[in-house]
């Protein structure tokens, strides 16, 4: 059964109410039966998610069933000991609902902020992921590396409620990242925010091949898909609500990265049958999720990144309601039929 949920970057619409409204949406997503809610980690003026475990812990006290995860933890600039301790504590608060999605992040502000060099971009992540997994799998850790002091017979507490705290590996489009996830047997969280989702199929195949060669069973090699998305009563309403804010947000990011300004023609291509953005009415969105799942050889999780287009709290609440009441049942019905 595919899990369906929401990811948020705590986009700052009003500094006083943003986090209170985000917690209300997280609580509402739980009531609507969504499976997972993720909080990102950024160090930019427009986002309030630089301390995601605090947000997740606040949500844990207000929710009952929904899984609570990062989306993603920027592990390259973090201490894996503290990352594990924070999420183990979250797991205890939430009675076993915590997960971690680790990645290198799509922005680079955190590197100078915490005193790391971009020249060590890959090496930092590989070393810290190795340590995080050792901590996850062992109460007493012996480890040596380049970027932090060694751990010699070091006990690390607290331990989570779950026997094995789930750690997903968040990836973009680098083949080596897909292969690494497979070799480690970690569930894969694929972020597709532009282009055509089916083009990631060969990369997902690399992940599964690497995992099977490393001795992992196919059912252990889970694939999650993270996409920009929004659901309204009709496609026309969804486009009307979404386009203006999306164009503003991604044109701003594009200036930093050398992308051309967003045009309506570009947007229309992205919301088309093969495009990465998943918006529309419930029926259209459900069909697109199923289509993307098949293009990637089957996915076990899909998450909407909703708050990227300046949508109001009321619009986001209604979208979550439609996802829970109308999209989820349709997706599961279509997958059962196929």
* CA–CA dist 65, 56 (Å, integer): 13
- Select from 3.30.70.260, 3.30.930.10, 3.20.20.30, 2.60.40.2470 the CATH code of 3-337: 3.20.20.30
Residue 6 structure tokens = 């929401």
- Contacts of residue 135, defined as CB under 8 A and 6 or more positions apart, other chains included, come to 80, 81, 84, 141, 156
* CA–CA dist 304, 230 (Å, integer): 7
pLDDT of residue 337 exceeding 80, the answer is no
Q: What angle do CA 194, 198, 204 make, to 5 degrees?
A: 100
Q: Indicate the domain borders of the chain.
A: 3-337
pLDDT, tens only, 250-265? 998 888 888 899 999 9
What percent of the chain stands above pLDDT 90? 91
Mean pLDDT score across all residues of the chain: 95
pLDDT of residue 301 exceeding 90, the answer is yes
pLDDT at 51: 97
pLDDT at 280: 98
**Residue 107 — very low, low, confident or very high, per pLDDT cuts 50/70/90?**
confident
pLDDT, tens only, 192-248? 999 999 999 999 999 999 999 999 999 999 999 999 999 999 999 999 999 999 999
pLDDT of residue 14 exceeding 70, the answer is no
pTM over 0.75: yes
pLDDT at 256: 86
Cross-strand partners of 229:
278
pLDDT of residue 60 exceeding 90, the answer is yes
Q: Which of 325, 299, 111, 331 has its CA nearest to residue 192?
A: 299
**Residue 13 — very low, low, confident or very high, per pLDDT cuts 50/70/90?**
confident
**Residue 15 — very low, low, confident or very high, per pLDDT cuts 50/70/90?**
low
pLDDT, tens only, 169-199? 999 989 999 999 999 999 999 999 999 999 9
**Residue 21 — very low, low, confident or very high, per pLDDT cuts 50/70/90?**
very high
pLDDT, tens only, 114-168? 999 999 999 999 999 999 999 999 999 999 999 999 999 999 999 999 999 999 9
């Amino acid at each position: 059964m595919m899990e369906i949920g929401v990811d948020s970057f705590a986009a700052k619409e009003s500094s006083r109410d943003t986090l209170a409204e985000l917690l209300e949406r997280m609580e509402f997503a739980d009531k609507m039966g969504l499976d997972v809610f993720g909080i990102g980690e950024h160090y930019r003026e427009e986002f309030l998610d630089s301390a995601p475990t605090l947000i997740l812990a606040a949500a844990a006290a207000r929710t009952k069933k929904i899984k609570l995860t990062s989306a993603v933890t920027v592990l390259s600039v973090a201490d894996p000991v503290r990352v594990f301790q924070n999420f183990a504590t979250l797991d205890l608060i939430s009675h076993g609902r915590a997960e971690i999605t680790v990645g290198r992040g799509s922005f680079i502000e955190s590197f100078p902020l915490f005193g790391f060099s971009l020249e060590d971009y890959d090496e930092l992540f590989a070393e810290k992921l190795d340590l995080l997994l050792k901590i996850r799998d062992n109460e007493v850790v012996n480890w040596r590396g380049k970027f932090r002091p060694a751990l010699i017979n070091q006990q690390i507490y607290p331990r989570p409620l779950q026997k094995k705290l789930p750690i997903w590996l968040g990836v973009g489009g680098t083949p080596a990242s897909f292969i690494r996830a497979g070799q480690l047997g970690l569930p894969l969280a694929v972020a597709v925010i532009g282009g055509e989702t089916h083009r990631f199929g060969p990369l997902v195949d690399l992940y599964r091949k690497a995992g099977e060669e490393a001795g992992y069973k196919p059912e252990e090699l889970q694939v999650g898909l993270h996409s920009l998305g929004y659901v309204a009563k009709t496609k026309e309403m969804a486009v009307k609500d979404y386009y203006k804010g999306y164009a503003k947000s991604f044109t701003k990011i594009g200036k930093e990265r050398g992308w051309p300004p967003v045009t309506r023609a570009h947007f229309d291509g992205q919301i088309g049958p093969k495009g990465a953005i998943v918006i529309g009415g419930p029926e259209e969105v459900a069909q697109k999720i199923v289509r993307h799942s098949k293009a990637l050889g089957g996915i076990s999780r899909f998450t909407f990144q909703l708050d990227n287009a300046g949508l109001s709290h009321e619009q986001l609440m209604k979208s979550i309601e439609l996802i829970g009441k109308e999209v989820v049942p349709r997706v599961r019905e279509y997958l059962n039929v196929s």
